Structure 1
């Protein structure tokens, strides 16, 4: 059974607001003590992954995300480690709340292949696959959080998951 790794709710959301839901998958891929993460130009790190498309299995979505974001092929998706839940103000005027449940999976294998296929915001943030230890990524994320730099909403979520991993890998 997987663990619930945290719920992150933005302040000021309407209690009865219409919610648009999204399901996402994220990969936890270790090579010894190092973890494959995406570093941004701000110096923070996020787990590879993203939204599950209609008709796509969690495993297929995660394999696709590793190919697109990390240019990594042949990743094997294993057991689900845990989930997070986020609720923030929706950017779509039809809804007030954007709710996303992210499923984190243990992954293994894989080899580097061609070039990344990043979405616009990912390219703007200069997301780059990097092998770092959990402690390095956690320190970097905490530093960016403390700096007040305007970063993507994933920072709080990913820092919480890194903290959870740190408690299990020390």
Structure 2
């Protein structure tokens, strides 16, 4: 799978110490210029559905589980591999200094009608909801949040916006 981008967060001086490895699978689901995303009220941003792959899962199994849990998607079918976003960022875990997050993005097809999502408690507390939105509107919104350096801004918004822009350029007609 191609490398989309490799980043090191600006607050990280070197890649040393105790590193927590996190593997994530994320879905790109398009319907014309509309894209299936998650809006998170706490961070005021749009992001791709998907997340951490459990130790016993392969990437595709984890992706299908995450899409189903977060959006209620059914009959998830992977159409193609899209790319990898590789990043080092500050850790919020007590037993690590850094997080090495490797996100695998896949273009997917799902059934038209979404079922019920099964969000985790922290996702509910953060105000996460599923939305079909014009991809250009999601990009504009996220870029505005970045430009305004909103206090609520999360660490993932730059990754998500970079991939959204790439998807808009390469996959949206």
Q: How far is the alpha carbon of 1:48 from its aligned partner? A: 0.3
Mapped to 1, the partners of 2:28 and 2:62 lie a distance apart of: 14
Q: In the aligned structure 2, how far is the partner of 1:8 from the partner of 1:18?
A: 18
The equivalent residue for 2:138 is: 137
Structure 1 residue 76: deviation in Å?
0.8
What is the alpha-carbon distance in structure 2 between the residues aligned to residue 134 and residue 6 of structure 1?
20
Unaligned runs of 5+ in 2: none
Q: Report the secondary structure of 1:72's partner residue.
A: coil
In the alignment, the residues of structure 2 paired with residue 12 and residue 48 of structure 1 have an alpha-carbon distance, to the nearest angstrom, of 26
Deviates further, 154-163 or 127-136: 127-136
Mapped to 2, the partners of 1:155 and 1:12 lie a distance apart of: 16
Deviation beyond 3 Å, 4+ runs, structure 1: none
Secondary structure, in 3 states, of the residue corresponding to 1:157?
helix
CA 12–129 in structure 1, closer or farther in 2 if over 3 Å, else same: closer
Asked if the contact 1:141–1:155 (Cα under 8 Å) also holds between the matched residues in 2, the reply is: yes
Aligned to 1:10: 9
2:156 corresponds to which residue? 154
Aligned to 1:166: 168
TM-score normalised by length of structure 1? 0.90
Q: Secondary structure at the match of 1:53?
A: coil
Per-residue CA deviations over 1:57-111 (Å, capped at 9, x if unaligned) read 2111111111111112111122210010121122223221111100000100223
Summarize the alignment of residues 112-127 of structure 1 with structure 2, pairs less than 5 Å apart: 112-114=114-116, 116-127=117-128
Q: Which residue of 2 aligns with 1:38?
A: 38
SS at match of 1:74: coil
Q: CA RMSD in A?
A: 1.6
Scaled by the length of structure 2, what TM-score is found?
0.89
Structure 1 unmatched runs, 5+: none
Aligned length: 168
The CA deviation at 1:127 is: 1.3
Matched, 1:94 2:95: yes
